């Protein structure tokens, strides 16, 4: 981040602490976000199972619920970012100047948290980070499963319709006749 946040470079002793109210609000928001991410992770697991079982109804339900959770998470994240701005203003009011082009990290904020709240703040932040990483892993796997399902569906459709794909190179001016192949799905239907 490019600035010292322990207070010593600013000529302020390490006894400078943020108000407990701000830290408790941040811990609570991190806890709420953690709970929401756990719910998102559950829905991601449901999506994975639905993709593996080829259960479109379960997949649709999981996506619908996931959308609700994502909207709630985005609102919580917005509140957290607003709180971080308030914390930055409080630190500036106490004479601690940070880099104006970036925000404080959780570790930076923890340096100015009351000692009784530091561990809880860092622990809650780590729990959220761990769940977000787990969610990311499941989402990458789900994306791969979805790509595989789409490829398989496209292949199946091409077998049924006799479509071999678009001809990229061909003889200029020559048109190909489409013929009906018995035993295959009529693509015109």
- Taking only the tens place, the pLDDT of each residue in 96-150 is 876 656 678 899 999 999 999 999 999 999 999 999 999 999 999 999 999 988 8
The candidate with the shortest Cα–Cα distance to 29, out of 75, 67, 71, is 75
**In Å, what is the CA distance from 143 to each residue of 30, 56, 101, 139?**
27, 15, 34, 6
- Taking only the tens place, the pLDDT of each residue in 150-180 is 888 888 888 888 776 655 555 666 655 555 4
What is the pLDDT, as a whole number, of residue 3?
41
Cα 3 from Cα 9, distance rounded (Å): 9
DSSP string covering 64-75, please?
HHHHHHHHHHHH
């Amino acid at each position: 981040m490019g600035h010292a946040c322990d207070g010593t470079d600013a000529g302020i002793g390490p006894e400078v602490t943020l108000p407990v109210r701000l830290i408790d609000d941040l811990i609570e928001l991190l806890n709420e976000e953690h709970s929401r991410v756990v719910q998102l992770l559950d829905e991601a697991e449901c999506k994975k199972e639905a993709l593996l079982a080829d259960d479109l109804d379960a997949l649709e339900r999981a996506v619908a619920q996931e959308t609700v959770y994502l909207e709630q998470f985005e609102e919580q994240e917005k509140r957290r970012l607003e709180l971080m701005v308030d914390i930055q203003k409080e630190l500036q009011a106490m004479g601690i100047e940070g880099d104006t082009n970036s925000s404080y990290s959780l570790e930076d904020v923890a340096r100015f948290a009351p000692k009784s709240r530091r561990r809880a703040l860092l622990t809650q932040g780590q729990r959220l980070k761990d769940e977000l990483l787990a969610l990311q892993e499941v989402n990458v796997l789900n994306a791969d499963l979805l790509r595989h399902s789409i490829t398989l569906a496209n292949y199946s459709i091409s077998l049924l319709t006799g479509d071999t794909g678009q001809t990229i190179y061909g003889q200029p001016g020559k048109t190909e006749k489409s013929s009906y192949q018995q035993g295959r799905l009529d693509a015109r239907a």
